[in-house]
């Protein structure tokens, strides 16, 4: 009789343990997901804008070099304090 009661208790305990709902893991809600997507989209736009600005600056720099510094002698080879030359003037 004692053994039966013990068995019942054990079965009951297992039943209770087995019926526990699974513990919740990290769950991302739909709202959070949407917020992250939105943030990523904004960052992508910012990178795109930076790329456009950089392209524009590069183009302006190259145009300036072509216009004002084309054909200018390079600094002397072989080290030294260097420095280039402007176009000479007479007076």
Partner 1 sequence: MKKFLSFPLLITLLIFIGCEKEVTLETPDVTYTVATDDKGGTLKLEWDEITDADGYIIYADGEVIDTVTELSYDATTPAALYEVSAYAGDQESGKDRIDCGAVETPSLTVYGSSDPDTTHPSGFGFNAQGNAVAYSISNQNNWPLIDYWIYSTAGGATIKFVSPSDRTPPLNNEVNVTKNSGQSNYDDVKIADPPGGYSTQTDVRSGAVYYFWIDPTNNGWDASTDHFGKIQVQGINGVQLTLKIAYQPIAGLRWCVVE
Establish if 20 lies at the interface with partner 1 (CB under 8 A).
Answer: no
Minimum CB separation of residue 58 from partner 1 in Å reads: 22
Work out which of 3, 25, 29, 90 binds partner 1, going by CB under 8 A: 90
| Cβ partners under 8 Å of residue 21, min gap 6 | none
Contacts of 85 (CB under 8 A, 6+ apart): 72, 73
Q: Which two tokens stand for residue 43?
A: 């960052």
Query: What string marks each residue from 44 to 73 as x (binds partner 1 by CB under 8 A) or -?
Result: ----------------------------x-
């Amino acid at each position: 009789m004692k053994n039966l009661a013990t068995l019942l208790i054990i079965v009951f305990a297992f039943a209770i343990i087995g019926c526990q709902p699974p513990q919740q893991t990290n769950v991302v809600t739909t709202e959070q997901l949407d917020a992250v997507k939105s943030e990523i989209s904004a960052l992508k736009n910012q990178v795109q804008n930076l790329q456009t600005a950089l392209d524009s600056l590069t183009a302006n720099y190259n145009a300036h070099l072509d216009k004002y510094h084309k054909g200018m002698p390079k600094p002397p080879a072989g080290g030294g304090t260097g420095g280039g030359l402007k176009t000479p003037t007479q007076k």
